[in-house]
Amino acid sequence: MRRSKRKAKSFRFRPFSIKQRRLLNWWRDGSPYKGYDIVIADGAIRSGKTIAMICSFLQWTFDAFPKGEDFIIAGKSIGALKRNVLKPMFQILSAWGIPYEYNRSENFIVIGRNTYYCFGANNESSQDVLQGLTAAGALADEVALFPQSFVDQMIGRCSVDGSKIFMNCNPRGPYHFMKLEFIDKADEKRIYHLHFTIDDNLSLSEKVKERFRRMFSGVFFKRYILGLWVMAEGIIYDMFDEAVHKVPTVERNYSEYYVAVDYGTQNPTTFGLWGKHGKSWYKVKEYYYSGRDEGKQKTDEDYYKDLEKFIGDLYDKDRNHDPYDYYSEPKLKAVIVDPSAASFIALIKQKGKFPVMNANNEVLDGIRNVATALKTRMIFFNDCCTNTFREFYSYVWDPKAQERGEDKPTKENDHCLDADRYFVHTVLFNGPATLETGDLGLGNW
């Protein structure tokens, strides 16, 4: 068993806001909500929900169960949990001078006599472990991204007398189960509901808050900034503006390139060539082939030939790999392909000519990042990309899915935009959360 006793950097506390203090103290003597079993903090991004909830949850577990119990700590995935909860949690424990042991391989933490089991709600196998557990409490971060079955199971597991459940999330659609089953029924189910806005985090400067406000529009602004449970309806990229984003197809001195591929066997296959010019990225040109419309399906080999032609002489291995020319790095950094197109990826690898990269194909995070890239004018489109423009005007949220509480685009007219999303999400917004650091990257927060 590998244990980590590495000391984390201490968390540097700033004053807590009134809302954060309510979240910190709701379970204490003297609070009118002391007898409640569940707290839900929802609202804007970066509004201080997670930090205050970690402090509240830990102190409650120490206070209520000094003899030791088992607890659940859950995030959307183990990766997200480590980034968003465990990292600040260890810093907070260090700041408090409280020792802990973290078992990385088995994902549990021991603090005094208490054990905290960590779960990724998207992992089928974690459900099994959860099933066998009797817990005295749970902390669920970003709970609106969990399947309802996990939330129900988690609550069911907290059967020790005096158990409490701490949940936080950003809003989703109005028919989402967290809204219908918990927030709307808060009084009846004796749930303490706290709504956070960005002003509830006193550690953010006005400048940073203003930057967050500028990053979002439409449904994303309403949800992530105003913290409202509103419908995602109509056109998805309503911040796309031809007058801004459509630019003439002219030569630019691009410093590097990527190609993003959406591969379809029955559906169309598209490629997009992205070039970097200054700080902006341009979709230089597109390729679009629909076997159904053309009456002829293409094979992987056919598409590979088209890809070679599309890339042209941007990546000439012999020329660019002159061993005496250290500066002639190939300008084409990678061909990014949806990982589900396994045979096409294998073929590109086998040919060995272009570097190939699996796309990060998470739909909603990707859409949000494309929306931010449009809103903040990071990406532009040459006017030759006619299929892309057509899709911008017909790419809509699926109203049926909204009624089920899910945010989903309709699976039509999404091929160029899927490839664009792979590029933006995989290349421009890769890596961990960077919201605080001042650059535009949103990472996977």
Ligand X SMILES: Nc1ncnc2c1ncn2[C@@H]1O[C@H](COP(=O)(O)OP(=O)(O)OP(=O)(O)O)[C@@H](O)[C@H]1O
Q: How far is the CB of 171 from ligand X (least distance, A)?
A: 10
Gap between the Cα atoms of 286 and 392, Å rounded: 14
Q: How far is the CB of 6 from Mg ion (least distance, A)?
A: 24
Partner in contact with 51, chosen from Mg ion, ligand X, none, beta carbon below 5 to 8 Å by kind: ligand X
DSSP 8-state symbol, 295: T
- What is the amino acid identity at position 54? I
For ligand X, the binding residue among 203, 249, 358, 376 (CB under 6 A) is 203
Residue pair 168/48 in contact by the 8 Å Cβ criterion = no
Task: Tell me whether residue 139 or residue 337 sits nearer to Mg ion (CB atom).
Answer: 139
Gap between the Cα atoms of 98 and 112, Å rounded: 9
Q: How far is the CB of 84 from ligand X (least distance, A)?
A: 6
Binding to Mg ion (CB under 5 A) within 184-213 occurs at: none
Partner in contact with 45, chosen from ligand X, Mg ion, none, beta carbon below 5 to 8 Å by kind: ligand X
Task: Tell me whether residue 192 or residue 315 sits nearer to Mg ion (CB atom).
Answer: 192
Task: Tell me whether residue 221 or residue 392 sits nearer to ligand X (CB atom).
Answer: 221
Hey, which bits of 82-173 come out as E strands?
101-103, 108-111, 114-120, 137-140, 164-169
Residue pair 68/62 in contact by the 8 Å Cβ criterion = no
Task: Tell me whether residue 50 or residue 387 sits nearer to ligand X (CB atom).
Answer: 50
Task: Tell me whether residue 14 or residue 400 sits nearer to ligand X (CB atom).
Answer: 14
For ligand X, the binding residue among 8, 26, 48, 171 (CB under 6 A) is 48
Partner in contact with 245, chosen from ligand X, Mg ion, none, beta carbon below 5 to 8 Å by kind: none
Provide the token pair at 4: 């980590």
| Position of minimal CB gap to Mg ion | 50
Segment near ligand X (CB under 6 A); pick from 41-49, 184-192, 273-281, 323-331: 41-49
**3-state SS, residue 43:** strand
**Which residues contact residue 118 at a Cβ distance below 8 angstroms, ignoring those fewer than 6 apart?**
73, 74, 75, 78, 81, 86, 107, 108, 109
Partner in contact with 16, chosen from ligand X, Mg ion, none, beta carbon below 5 to 8 Å by kind: ligand X
For ligand X, the binding residue among 23, 38, 45, 335 (CB under 6 A) is 45
Binding to ligand X (CB under 6 A) within 167-186 occurs at: 170
Binding to ligand X (CB under 6 A) within 84-143 occurs at: 88
Gap between the Cα atoms of 65 and 61, Å rounded: 6
For ligand X, the binding residue among 39, 40, 51, 85 (CB under 6 A) is 51
Please, where are the H alpha helices in 65-144?
Answer: 78-81, 87-96, 124-131
Q: Map residues 11-30 to x or -, x wherever contact with ligand X holds by CB under 6 A.
A: --xx-x--------------
Binding to ligand X (CB under 6 A) within 417-436 occurs at: 436
Please, where are the H alpha helices in 71-121?
Answer: 78-81, 87-96
| Position of minimal CB gap to ligand X | 50
User: Three-state secondary structure along 307-360?
Assistant: HHHHHHHHCCHHHHCCCCCCCCCCCEEEEEECCCCHHHHHHHHHHCCCCEEECC
Gap between the Cα atoms of 437 and 430, Å rounded: 14
- What is the amino acid identity at position 4? S
Task: Tell me whether residue 10 or residue 267 sits nearer to ligand X (CB atom).
Answer: 10
| Backbone angles phi and psi of 216, in degrees to 5 | -120, 150
Residue pair 238/58 in contact by the 8 Å Cβ criterion = no
Q: Map residues 38-57 to x or -, x wherever contact with Mg ion holds by CB under 5 A.
A: ------------x-------
Partner in contact with 89, chosen from ligand X, Mg ion, none, beta carbon below 5 to 8 Å by kind: none
Q: How far is the CB of 113 from ligand X (least distance, A)?
A: 27
Task: Tell me whether residue 47 or residue 369 sits nearer to Mg ion (CB atom).
Answer: 47
Give the residue among 17, 62, 23 at the shortest CA–CA distance from 41: 23
Q: How far is the CB of 41 from Mg ion (least distance, A)?
A: 9
C-alpha 169: how far from its chain's center?
13
Q: How far is the CB of 11 from ligand X (least distance, A)?
A: 7
Segment near ligand X (CB under 6 A); pick from 9-17, 231-239, 364-372, 375-383: 9-17
Q: Which residues bind Mg ion (CB under 5 A)?
A: 50
Q: Which residues bind ligand X (CB under 6 A)?
A: 13-14, 16, 45-51, 88, 170, 196, 201, 203, 436, 445
